[in-house]
Structure 1
Amino acid sequence: MRRSNLAERPAPDPPSDADPLYAEACRLWAAGRRGDAIQRLDAALRLKPDSPDALVMGGYMLGELGRPEAALRFYRRALDLDPLLVVAHANSGKLLVELRRPAEALEAFDAAVALKPADADAWNCRAGALRELGRLEDSLVAARRALALRPEFAEAAINLGNALLKLDRMEDALKAYRRACALRPGYAAALCGEALALRNLGRYGEALAAFEAAEALGSREGVAGKGCLLLTLGDFTRGFEGYEARWLSGKSLADALGKRFPTWSGPGSGQERVLVLNDHGLGDTIQFVRYLPLMAAAGVEATFVCPPNLHRLLKSTIPGRLVETPPDESFDAQIAVSSLPRAFRTSLETVPATAPYLSADLALAARWAERIGPAGFKVGMVWQGNPHPEADRARSFPLAAAAPLGTLPGVRLISLQKGYGEEQLAGLPRAMRVETPGEDFDSGPDAFVDTAALMAHLDLVVTCDTSVAHLAGALARPVWVALKSDAEWRWMTERDDSPWYPTMRLFRQPRRGAWTEVFAAMAGALSETLAPRRPAQAARAPCSIGDVVDRITILRIKRERMIDEDKRANIERELRLLEAEAQEGGVVGGAVDVLTDGLAEVNAQLWDVEDALRVCERQGEFGPRFVALARSVYALNDQRAALKLTINRLFESALIEEKSYG
């Protein structure tokens, strides 16, 4: 977005000593002698501080020198003196766009076109500001006005294409980008726009050719776009290489994150201290944080700079140090968290898909289990993603489109939506009921802790392409993701599963905007899932359900620790029978998995304590250590009993173990 460098009107004042200095400053700047030009302009402003033309030129110089706030002050002063200066309004707007202040930029462009309705450049800039504000139809009008005023205006054709792309009108966007290419052959930005439209239309070969043409022109955007396309097509090796050229907030990766240390090239160089930097949103962070345990296993000491609202969710399972801002320390290397797949040379066949790699808080999971209750097949719903105007709005689906899921017998739809999108709950079809978890749901400073805990009690999560999809996958919860026809690179093409998340199933639009078909397919699949389901009370065991789960966890510990092969065979036989009984009776999934993990942890601790007590007995050591160990048995058994009781209440077990202490 080029700023005008001279006032676009004749100076009305009579010549003064300042005028030759101002004219000389303009000439020197145009000749590339910036230092001399600034010196002359300063001298002119000392003689005539209220010269609008000189102030505009000063604003232009400061903007070019990377001092936007100072430049804006010059433009504002010029406009105070002469509100009719179109160039000052327009240049102010361009700076405000660069500063990501689109609402203020729009005001400036509105003033410019009001003063000069035939200014195609101002109309084009107005189109860009409107798009960033999410006013896409208005952006189309402004871009078309710019093209009507200047039919050969390639930048305006690109702005038109950008608005059409956001409106999911891909064929029209492709025409606009191709118009820009025709107006200016070899225009990399137009080629990248054309490639994006082609990619979203599923014309991958043509898209790749367009990206490569932009890449040949030296376009960083072309390299990054090609990388994302290759990732979409499953070529992770070349794709992640190109993905390194991605932009963040209008800057290169290195400029956006700050280049303080060498880039980490992956495991293999021994003990290292590595600074890992967050470079995208919550979903990307959850997807790629899986690599931090791999770093720890490779002997790397990682410090992860990530939003503080994620620390509580991550800290229980993710090794390394979590910080809010980069510490004032020296590190051996640094890397963006989204660059870790490349550092580990990840291919489609080697995606580290072990799950779960995050876990829910046990206490919160128990609380939500009690609040939600055991009745029905519980489906968590998320339908709205990031509301930011520049985000991909086509990823979200209208909640009412999911109505077929709620018509299935026994299905309970439970909202996991937080904030934007909740207003749709008020306008649902009469027959559609969606439960809400309450005002306190994820209302604290920590992101997703209640969502993760509630997911532990759900039978299924249904979500659009947003961070909750990644959370459910990282927790290894059953999750179905509703995808638009041209889904993002990480979901690839055609397949209905994800190499990143083993418990995820993908449901794709057969064509643009076809959410009805997506949820008809989901309803059919869910009906099949429900058909063999039996109530949990049907688990056949002459004991409480909590005792069955407790026994399963003990047998699993024995299987891991028992050396004798004959004993292991007996353990395996009993374990298979009990696990089959639990599966058949529905004592799996939801909150019981979280409670099972808790029982397993307590029983493992009891095993270790009992081993330590036997050592004390053999050595005749009955002092303070023996007493402390013996007392810990009581405490651990109390925890064990509490977990079993929670399971029994959760499944309304016919038998419940009771305890009493004298």
Structure 2
Amino acid sequence: MPIAPSDSDLCEIRRREGHLEAATAHGRRAVALDPGDAAGWYNLGVALYDRLEVEASIACERRAVRLRPDWPGPHFELAEGLLLSGRLEDGWREYEWRWRLPGVPPLVPPAILERSRQAAPRPWDGSPLSGGTLLLVADQGFGDTIQFARYVPMVAALCPNLAVACSPDMLPVIRSIPGGHRAFTAWEEAPPFDAYAALSSLPGLFGTTLRSIPAPVPYLRAEPERVERWKDRLDGLLPRGYRRVGLVWAGRPTHGNDRNRSLKLERLAPVFALEKTALVSLQKGPAQAEAACYYGAAPLVDLGPELESFADTMAVLTLLDHLVCVDTAVAHLAGAMGRPAAVLLPYAPDWRWLLGHGRTPWYPTVTLHRQPAPGRWDEAVRSAIAAVTGRALTASGRPARR
């Protein structure tokens, strides 16, 4: 006979299904029945995080860490709770446990370290490295790379001979950082190096707190020649004198939280009714097909098929008046470029957006529009429209007249 799942297992199963109340009920039952089971506390903590009961989540993960100090899962979930609640210094320390999570590859392939064995490359500790070469690895997703790219000039001031390993998609981003840093996309191109560090470890290495987040925005800029080409293209497509608003309504489907962070284009219907506004879709991936079914008063131009790289996206962002988007790489790109952006956030957001604020210290030109409850996008969309137009919406869903 099949073994029935435990309450701890059911906690995680129900959480993944989006049934958070049932998930927490199973989790509480699990830890009541067996207070010494680290897995029960861990799963309950994850479910509580999704309910935005962050302090309770942190307490559960701390309990799991005490029971199983070497288990990376609770450490990483603890990091997310600490970072979300603004306790960055403590959060960065726990964040380093991500390297021990199952399936996470080493930062630098062993063969590359072996090739540089004469230099005895070591993890960088943040100290000056004036005579050697430092390898920075853009180790996480597109948004993370864009967010932490702000640290590259700070690193270069300590280690002038700098090389950056990144994905081909991120190459235009790294190359747009002032300083002309060497970047490559294949390990075979890596130069000999003396030390190495993950881009996502830089906030911790620099001891970043809420008050010391480096925000020299803009720290990314589009190529002037590309901007000119896109200007000619948009001027020929869009009505003269209209407000230009970019749209991105979905992230990559493979993202672990995509079910909560992405939405359907039709959920942005109040944006479609804005007067004297032209909409510009920057959506890529499978959700791009939804633009073909658009029926709204505001004209919409779908640029998705024409955006060949982030270099194109950066150029188009330069030419828009505002961006309305979900939590995906384009939101980070707009923020890093100092462009106005209204970001729609799920009820339990990623840690970097903190709790309860309408602004973010990471990106001064970005406004945050949060779901008041899981799955409820309408209020967030109306709030984003108010940010775009400078006017709150009336009961009919239209911007109030001055």
Tell me the CA shift for residue 199 of structure 1. 1.6
2:134–2:159 Cα contact (<8 Å) kept: no
> What residue is the counterpart of 2:182 in the other structure?
321
Tell me the CA shift for residue 331 of structure 1. 2.4
> What residue is the counterpart of 1:586 in the other structure?
none
2:249–2:263 Cα contact (<8 Å) kept: yes
TM-score for both structures, normalised by structure 2:
0.86
Alignment of 1:246-395 (within 5 A): 246-247=98-99, 250-251=102-103, 255=106, 257-258=108-109, 260=113, 261-268=121-128, 270-319=130-179, 320-326=181-187, 327=189, 329-373=191-235, 374-388=240-254, 390-395=256-261
2:343–2:384 Cα contact (<8 Å) kept: no
> What residue is the counterpart of 1:401 in the other structure?
267
> What residue is the counterpart of 2:367 in the other structure?
505
* Distance in 2, Cα, partners of 1:165 & 1:472: 32
**Larger Rg computed on CA atoms:** 1
> What residue is the counterpart of 1:485 in the other structure?
347
Alignment of 1:442-591 (within 5 A): 442-443=307-308, 447-528=309-390
Instruction: Choose 345-354 or 158-167, whichever is displaced more.
Output: 158-167
Deviations 1:141-196 (A, max 9, x none): xxxxxxxxx34x43xx5554334323332222223334444565433233222111
Say which SS state the counterpart of residue 280 (structure 2) adopts: strand
Shift of the 497–168 alpha-carbon distance from structure 1 to 2, 3 Å rule, reads same
5+ residue gaps in structure 2? Answer: 114-120, 393-402
Q: Quick one: which of 60, 84, 90 aligns to 1:238? A: 90
Say which SS state the counterpart of residue 503 (structure 1) adopts: strand
Amino acid at match of 1:301: N
Shift of the 337–330 alpha-carbon distance from structure 1 to 2, 3 Å rule, reads same
Tell me the CA shift for residue 372 of structure 1. 1.3
1:383–1:396 Cα contact (<8 Å) kept: yes
Alignment of 1:191-206 (within 5 A): 191-206=41-56
Q: Quick one: which of 24, 39, 42 aligns to 1:189? A: 39
Amino acid at match of 2:307: D
Shift of the 310–248 alpha-carbon distance from structure 1 to 2, 3 Å rule, reads farther
2:324–2:384 Cα contact (<8 Å) kept: no
2:247–2:283 Cα contact (<8 Å) kept: yes
TM-score for both structures, normalised by structure 1:
0.54
Aligned positions, number: 376
Shift of the 345–174 alpha-carbon distance from structure 1 to 2, 3 Å rule, reads same
Does residue 172 of the first structure (1) align with residue 22 of the second (2)?
yes
* Identical-pair percentage: 33
* Distance in 1, Cα, partners of 2:47 & 2:318: 39
Shift of the 525–472 alpha-carbon distance from structure 1 to 2, 3 Å rule, reads closer
1:292–1:318 Cα contact (<8 Å) kept: no
2:367–2:387 Cα contact (<8 Å) kept: no
* Distance in 1, Cα, partners of 2:290 & 2:77: 34
Amino acid at match of 1:235: R
Deviations 1:407-466 (A, max 9, x none): 222111110001221122244455464321263x123xxx31111111111000111000
Tell me the CA shift for residue 309 of structure 1. 2.6
1:229–1:489 Cα contact (<8 Å) kept: yes
Tell me the CA shift for residue 197 of structure 1. 1.1
* Distance in 2, Cα, partners of 1:248 & 1:456: 40
Supply the RMSD in Å over aligned alpha carbons. Answer: 2.5
Shift of the 329–380 alpha-carbon distance from structure 1 to 2, 3 Å rule, reads closer
Q: Name the structure with the higher strand share.
A: 2
Amino acid at match of 1:385: G
